[in-house]
Structure 1
């Protein structure tokens, strides 16, 4: 890795074997530029104390989101940065087509192989695009090869990603290679974007499947072959003819292929409603009896629908059964670093708390996340982010329209087979204007999106699809536990609240010591506030005032932490309990947030170091499948049955405590 401002050579020279890389940074990929420079110790840990402020390029204004600003004039990330590698290519690539895959580039790139440019930044643009290039003629099978990718950071008018008020934005705006880069070898015809569309009858005892794939002929001559699909022991074939360079979608329908009609299918369910059963299908393209290329798809047989209740609230159903959505908002690591172990543990935490859903606002994780969610039976609500060019539709250029449409298409191809995906939100804080909404809806229809799609996370209606049936009314800061049942106009327990919560969540002492200097642990100062949020959440003052009034002014750090845990516990418990008691007048609630992208004092149910605290256990208690709870509005006791069958012969007992817990 190296800045283009530190080298005079261009792509033709940099992408040749033997190019001198003395003084370059040795890195692993995927990695953003700043993440790579942290990993090789060029930069000190940006998550500790106020170290992040000392990084070059951090002198941007905090009055607006950095995503909406140009890079500072003296930022090293105004320059493009080069990623370069040399690698041996197996000799058997000589008789095959070679494909270069880039699953995530932020934001633009020029791509060079062995001294030749194969794509430039006019076509390689978009954080959420997925690229594949025919690299056959540029590679040397059986020899060493060189690949060089020049990355340009997002500009203020690009459709990239933003951290909103969750945490600071790194000085490089997360520029770099943030997902996998790899080569594959195929024959002349490739099946891509495999998909299995499932339909269930009215009693959910019969299913019909349609298996499809896009087949592409990369050769310069017409071909005749067959697409074969293997599913549950059955082998199906469809004859295919393709002209030179032609692409077609080939489908196996239940009307023509009887094995695609299933009696008593193993349905996929969210984990609290049943087993998350999964199937798999293998597709192969045959030329002269030999496999040209293959693709595999894993899927669940299930039906997701949504409707507006008589009060206009959006209610989701899985396989015909209503489901109260209880979940949290997801954050990737602030530097987009990834860990399979961490992902799995975070999803395990989600289940352990009794939550059933994760919302991803513009932080669309790698395929592994969705694979795990499929397996664990956790629902996912992906969609675009707010507060940057994604919602500045009046300023969109023709390129923005192109990137937005292509990004949605790529994400639909990637996500439509995942059983865990509940809905796509194609707006966030605001719905798009009619022109953009119609473009999005056409793409969803053309690419057979199988799930509901909602115009935004807010209650603002559109002229195209009408009411959204959801709200994002907060609160995002501290409220007392009686708020959730008392409030009838904002974030209270009615309708579907896509992002809300009782505010700060102070990590326990063991975690505070990992990101605050010892001489700044107490009293609370600017080091603490730097690890709060942005905009109006830049301090935890409202939370502290609530503590003073409800529990008494803390006299020490241990006293503050003890009271903080109590406030987080009762706050999260009261919120989730209120939405459960009022189901299905309340249809969903997403705690803002589930986790953090860096060590933070706000908005999480477990901290950045995966240490659970009061909010975690308050949520876990509230989300018990069978739960007894107190109602703050009328002093009643409610029993909540989240099982899929009646609970009989049970008894509720109460125990009275004094205020000193005796």
Structure 2
């Protein structure tokens, strides 16, 4: 059977009734093969054999049709000190790489690759200070990433491209013995480029990428500042996918989707415009049919539209196609509504009907704007003022991608009542934005502080004297900005973009960035800085503040708002990163990464520098400020267990106060327009800045944050001794009742009352004063606020505070960038003298599913309060069930009070077998799940 060239046909085999059979071969490009006659059995056998061989080869091809793109799926990895530097030779097929490291992942930094290939075990790496013992000198030379892959044979009208999305810090790229790009062009963690490799490509191909060592201060990298110990490789390597794409004569760039939605929010048709740059790769003009389609992602008929476009030889034009969607479904942040998505696709086809290329993305109909008032920025989503409540995202320290973990983290974000996450220089992969689109979490991406990204002449905060940018640096930053704009533009979860973090970009970078947003049809706000310094920029005031705190402050800090300007991180305006620096993992997690000596240091050496805090030169290398407050307020710990429990009490109190402060003052005369908690979780096991820990175990800080961010809530203002009614919803209205009780440590009721109030959507208000109710405190009292729907009686939130006779006194005048000192601490040591409470506990699985929800009922049989009762669901082996959500946890029960709580495993967590129960004055117990 003759073939055209060396290419196998796709056979259609059929035995005929005649003595001779025709075997027809149809090639990929649609041209018929010559027809032979042969005996039926022979024809069928040969045809089936050929088809099988062709299918086998097709399965090996990375791409095999126009419009297809695929990531290089795996890598062989080796140091250049061992493999050498002859990339022309190493990028030819057949090179023996048996001695190299083999990584079954499409993307990984050097450390991530070495963990993946079994050189290192991250469980051991993260234990104690083992990470510091890794030989970092091995990463001072370039490393090589290599792969062999198959493609179709080259042919006229067939084109191949190599697409990068950022390689840290720089890279040389060779394919089949020829150089595709060098480190002057392929530079920067976000430097995405598309290289035409048609003239290099063959049926069998070998690619080698030489990744150069990274310096956070001299390269456009993904840095860690003072967040945690720095990875040994500084994030060097192919951390994002490298893709190969096949096209016909015309290639498309990324799809941009421009939506126009009027104030009726779906009652009137919405306009959709699809845009993409089309490049004619041939030496003659080409006429193509451009076809666009918009289809509901949930299913339904597509709306299709098309036009013919003629593209001159070797030219690029912008294809623009528009249509209207009659009844668009509106995308909302999760707390406000549904997340309907649409699939947009743009295809260009040649005159004979062959697809030349296609570009697609998901999008949603929504609007985001911003307004500047009172020196603060407020975002508006779908016409509604949007108070940002969220946290700072940290990827894995080795930038390893785990989509399932990310979705569980977003589940935690929503469970907490948060609506937004900030990505400071950690823009991640498209999968993050896809997940946020589906789940309704808003995203605030942007560049990072404190390194090459902000090496401006007016930045005096850099750790080294870094030269200002040169021409090559601006080119790298421009390519990075254009790539990120193209990657993010269609996603409805995008709230804005920070083109500066601690400092606004200079007068050359700022307009360059803004031009990239304009060219990319960006449709949400661009803010020049995440800090107040941005107000010095020529490009308008940022309306943001970044004035701390980052270490422990007392609960009254957030409510002490006036005079504005001198109250730093207190609850007014938009604070882009701040927290009380808390986030102590529970004991089960601590034992996973701390040695016995490390655990002793936590409570026996409260000022000691600790490896799992930050870098050795950081202001956050120890827990001295945090521990000083804990010792003064709650008393010196008597054991490790006592220390961890007191830490959970402190973390809960601190986090609740922060989020309640911002929620309570949302409708103040100078509104608290946004708060980004620093941070959500650690890049590796960490002792601070965690809402949940690296092992996905939620502890005291998590549930304090959750209590402070409930959709409908009632809160206590530590400064004004006032009660606030908070409503984060858009639609919940009506009469509400707040029941208020105060008891002392012996359980004696000292105040009881109720307040009737009407709740208003998306608003907060002061509804009562408790000055008289809280007068005459002897040592410590408990305040319980219960919010109910007056008509139905349904409890909407329940909140218990512990309040001391005296409040913490802040020394605002001596504040610095990371903390405000405390001159007098509240005395909560009476909590150590609480009489024992008898609490009964029952636990039952709600359904027969393997990992179904577990209902836990607590009943305090005593006449005294049961303080700070925590529940931990464990499996049959005694391991924490994670990830999971609790309806509530770390609760304080009134005398004779009964509470029912629910634990729900998520993300494939194991089934719960028992519940571990502890409390400040409650005996430990283990209760089996029935």
Taking structure 2 as the reference length, the TM-score comes to 0.67
CA distances 1:358-382 after superposition (whole Å, capped 9, x unpaired): 0000001100000000111100000
d(CA) in 1 for partners of 2:676, 2:403: 24
1:91-170, aligned counterparts within 5 Å?
96-141=158-203, 144-155=204-215, 156-170=217-231
1:548 match: secondary structure: helix
The answer to whether residue 713 in structure 2 is matched with residue 627 in structure 1 is yes
Structure 1 runs of 4+ with >6 Å offset: 92-95
- The aligned residue for residue 70 of structure 1 is none
- The aligned residue for residue 313 of structure 1 is 376
Q: Is the 8 A contact 1:329 1:593 kept in 2?
A: yes
d(CA) in 2 for partners of 1:95, 1:226: 16
Larger helix proportion, structure 1 or 2?
1
Q: How far is the alpha carbon of 1:38 from its aligned partner? A: 2.8
Match of 2:282 among 219, 226, 249: 219
Q: How far is the alpha carbon of 1:336 from its aligned partner? A: 0.5
The answer to whether residue 406 in structure 2 is matched with residue 343 in structure 1 is yes
Match of 2:249 among 160, 185, 188: 188
d(CA) in 1 for partners of 2:677, 2:114: 33
2:492 match: secondary structure: coil
The answer to whether residue 652 in structure 2 is matched with residue 576 in structure 1 is no
- The aligned residue for residue 492 of structure 2 is 419
1:295-374, aligned counterparts within 5 Å?
295-309=359-373, 311-374=374-437
Match of 1:12 among 88, 104, 115: 88
Q: How far is the alpha carbon of 1:49 from its aligned partner? A: 1.1
Q: How far is the alpha carbon of 1:468 from its aligned partner? A: 1.0
Q: How far is the alpha carbon of 1:82 from its aligned partner? A: 0.7
CA distances 1:565-584 after superposition (whole Å, capped 9, x unpaired): 11111111111111111114
Query: Structure 1: 5+ residue runs without aligned partners?
Result: 58-74, 254-259
d(CA) in 2 for partners of 1:25, 1:551: 52
d(CA) in 2 for partners of 1:315, 1:552: 42
- The aligned residue for residue 235 of structure 1 is 304
Larger strand proportion, structure 1 or 2?
2
1:79 match: secondary structure: coil
- The aligned residue for residue 392 of structure 1 is 455
- The aligned residue for residue 607 of structure 1 is 693
Q: How far is the alpha carbon of 1:83 from its aligned partner? A: 0.8
Q: Is the 8 A contact 2:504 2:529 kept in 1?
A: yes
- The aligned residue for residue 320 of structure 2 is 251
d(CA) in 1 for partners of 2:537, 2:715: 42
1:146 match: secondary structure: strand
The answer to whether residue 514 in structure 2 is matched with residue 441 in structure 1 is yes
The answer to whether residue 40 in structure 2 is matched with residue 40 in structure 1 is no
Q: How far is the alpha carbon of 1:107 from its aligned partner? A: 1.6
- The aligned residue for residue 464 of structure 1 is 538
Deviates more, 1:481-490 or 1:419-428: 481-490
Deviates more, 1:315-324 or 1:211-220: 211-220
Q: How far is the alpha carbon of 1:7 from its aligned partner? A: 3.0
d(CA) in 2 for partners of 1:555, 1:549: 14
CA distances 1:159-191 after superposition (whole Å, capped 9, x unpaired): 212101001212221111001123222211122
Deviates more, 1:498-507 or 1:84-93: 84-93
Q: Is the 8 A contact 2:608 2:624 kept in 1?
A: no
- The aligned residue for residue 54 of structure 1 is 133
d(CA) in 1 for partners of 2:166, 2:539: 31
- The aligned residue for residue 507 of structure 1 is 585
d(CA) in 1 for partners of 2:149, 2:512: 41
Q: Is the 8 A contact 1:433 1:462 kept in 2?
A: no
Match of 1:405 among 453, 464, 478: 478
Q: How far is the alpha carbon of 1:92 from its aligned partner? A: 8.8
Q: How many residues align?
A: 636
d(CA) in 1 for partners of 2:110, 2:220: 19
- The aligned residue for residue 741 of structure 2 is 655
- The aligned residue for residue 100 of structure 2 is 24
1:372 match: secondary structure: helix
- The aligned residue for residue 262 of structure 2 is 201
- The aligned residue for residue 453 of structure 1 is 526
CA distances 1:469-503 after superposition (whole Å, capped 9, x unpaired): 11011100001111100243200000000001111
2:189 match: secondary structure: coil
Q: How far is the alpha carbon of 1:646 from its aligned partner? A: 4.2
CA distances 1:238-258 after superposition (whole Å, capped 9, x unpaired): 2211122211111124xxxxx
1:497 match: secondary structure: strand
- The aligned residue for residue 917 of structure 2 is none
d(CA) in 2 for partners of 1:79, 1:619: 44
The answer to whether residue 614 in structure 2 is matched with residue 533 in structure 1 is yes
Q: Is the 8 A contact 1:438 1:464 kept in 2?
A: no
Name the larger-Rg structure. Answer: 2
Q: Is the 8 A contact 1:301 1:419 kept in 2?
A: yes
The answer to whether residue 258 in structure 2 is matched with residue 179 in structure 1 is no
Q: How far is the alpha carbon of 1:528 from its aligned partner? A: 7.1
Match of 2:557 among 473, 480, 483: 483
d(CA) in 2 for partners of 1:568, 1:245: 62
- The aligned residue for residue 2 of structure 1 is 78
d(CA) in 2 for partners of 1:202, 1:593: 35
- Structure 1 pair 348/43, CA: closer, same or farther in 2 (3 Å)? same
Q: How far is the alpha carbon of 1:276 from its aligned partner? A: 1.6
- The aligned residue for residue 650 of structure 2 is 567
d(CA) in 2 for partners of 1:398, 1:554: 57
- The aligned residue for residue 925 of structure 2 is none
